[in-house]
Amino acid sequence: MEPSEEPAAWNIRPFERISEYHECEAMQRRVWNFAGDLDIIPRTQLVAATKVGGIVLGAFAEDGTMLGFCYGFLGRRASGELLHHSHMLAVDDEFRAAGLGAALKWAQRDAVRAQGIELMAWTYDPLESLNGYFNFSKLGVVARNYWEDLYGETSSGLHRGTPTDRLLAEWSLDAARVERRAGGARVSLDRTSLPGLPALLSAVLDRAGLSAPGPTAEGGAAPEVTIEIPSHIQEIKAADPGLARTWRMATRAAFTQAFAEGYHVAECLRHDGRTYYLLRNGEPRLA
């Protein structure tokens, strides 16, 4: 678990009883705002996964109340090596700013490393800026795969109105880059240089004052480029669903182009109230 000066207000451990799996089902409904049960991972699947190498961890308050959970299962790289696919992480609203999500990820890392596995991966919506910042800045992931409309239409209110495009986050558990983040280090890049880098996609304000996709460019031979995203995509979805879909198509084109040109996502950074992905050409630098 990531070091902290304050004693944790929770205990992170594997599930121990069926009632906790029931709580997990209920938390999925709350956090993702699912309209039905078809998108919920049922307790039977969660239990079965833990019997064959999957990991389900819960964060519990002193009275036993579940505050969050994470769930992942074994997978295999194209090369044949095992990986851990982290499929779900959820935290109740009041604990999202308290570091519980990070604590769950670091505990999950410990559990996966204990199995002798060196890579964890998961998908997330690249338009969700808080998730992007968390994954890259706090955990040290990299990304070089973009999957279009991965899950199709779901019943989640969070997903409504746009295709479920996803970046694949790759977490090299023993990399020096990740060890530094585990120790609390953050990106030392001079953020003031971000606007000066070639931008595959930039944001502008539309007539309603909402962030909208602006100019695009090609990366060419530049060692570093940026892709800008809105800092609050859910607000845009609520105010202008068509604009949210336009953002999806624009970022899909930008990421697809970048990966085809040999770039990977190295960081997600904030500067002056705006959010940028920093992409670098060549193989990820994990040292």
Q: What is the pTM of this model?
A: 0.91
* CB-CB contact of 73 with 53 (8 Å): yes
Residue-level pLDDT at 189: 63
Q: Which residue has the higher pLDDT, 287 or 103?
A: 103
8 Å CB contact between 21 and 46 = yes
Q: What is the mean pLDDT of residues 34-60?
A: 94
| Strand order from edge to edge, sheet including 263-271 | 11-14, 55-60, 66-76, 82-91, 119-124, 166-172, 142-147, 263-271, 274-281, 224-229, 199-205, 211-216
pLDDT digits (tens, 9 = 90+) for 176-217: 999 999 998 877 666 556 777 899 999 999 989 999 999 887
Residue with tokens 């031979």: 221
pLDDT digits (tens, 9 = 90+) for 123-166: 999 999 999 999 999 999 999 999 999 999 887 777 777 899 99
Topology adopted by domain 11-182: Aminopeptidase (3.40.630)
- The full set of domain ranges for the chain reads 11-182, 191-281
Q: Does the pLDDT at position 221 exceed 60?
A: yes
Distances (CA, A) of 197 to 26, 101, 148, 186: 45, 31, 27, 20
